[in-house]
Structure 1
Amino acid sequence: MNSQPAMLHVAPEPCLRPHFKEHIGESYLTADLLANDVDVNMDITEIQYPDNTFDVIYCSHVLEHVPDDRKAMKEFLRVLNPDGFAVLMVPITAEQTVEDPSVTDPQERLRLFGQEDHVRRYGPDFSERLRGAGFVVDEMTPNRFCSEAEQRASRLPDEDRIYVCRRKH
């Protein structure tokens, strides 16, 4: 077995890629549905890797674009090693999650969900959606990990939430 953790980085942020690659090496895999500068093009609702493949999954500000986010969450759980963890982040911009799959017009999505390619606005109940997929969820604020300067550079205000998800044991 490789001594480095296998990591899946979905829609990889350019500022994070070199750091993860340096520390994780060949076990670092970047994935995106459409981008050309990733290791693999992949739909996160149908991840093409076997069960228990990844020690770490990092997916930030992607699920609000995915029509079947619950299926994607279950796929993350499936490919996560029993002792691994997933860091999942979404913008929390509503009192409660709001979605309407019938809305396909970009301007109506902008009006309802805040961006033309969003399919929902998440609320604090996002953690319950993750639990519903089978995760144990630890909700944290960015200041637990980052200095104020790092938060500003990463555009992570204190009110943002980081959801660290693990399998139930």
Structure 2
Amino acid sequence: MSVRDLIPWSRNNGHQVPSVFRDADRDPVLSLHREMNRLFDDVFRGFGSGLPSFGGASALGGGWPSVEISDGEKEIKVTAEVPGLEEKDIEVLLDDGVLTLKGEKRSETEDKDRQFSERFYGRFERRIPLGTEVKEDKVDARFRNGVLTVTLPKSEKAQSHVRRISIRN
């Protein structure tokens, strides 16, 4: 066996042409299965915070803005990418253990000038359940270069509930 046999090429008219389709793409059952999974994912992405997307976002908005959540020993840090917005366009709320990021992204041009756009415009709201007590009076929000960072210090009670459990053989 040569290395040439390992390369996924098909032979047409004596020339080697890359194969455009994988075997899974040619199978109509696998293709239907993949498409059904994509459709269900798109539908369920728009439901409330009970699902893993953490979003109250619609299926059209897709969970915008994208967030990153880190849970440390002493604080929870939520970072949201909101390019094209300014501080005044975003509102940060904390109510009953749920952090809410909301605002509006406005278009710079009128619709009549636009031929095609993949950009998202309009109102957004992202609700993030924290799952732990935080010191509400010490919450800090900073905005820099289109990135919003919210730092939520955990209460002493929440910090004391964390306990390392040893693993036995």
The verdict on a shared fold, with TM-score over 0.5 as the criterion, is no
So what's the TM-score if we normalise by structure 1?
Answer: 0.23
Report which of the two has the higher share of helix. Answer: 1
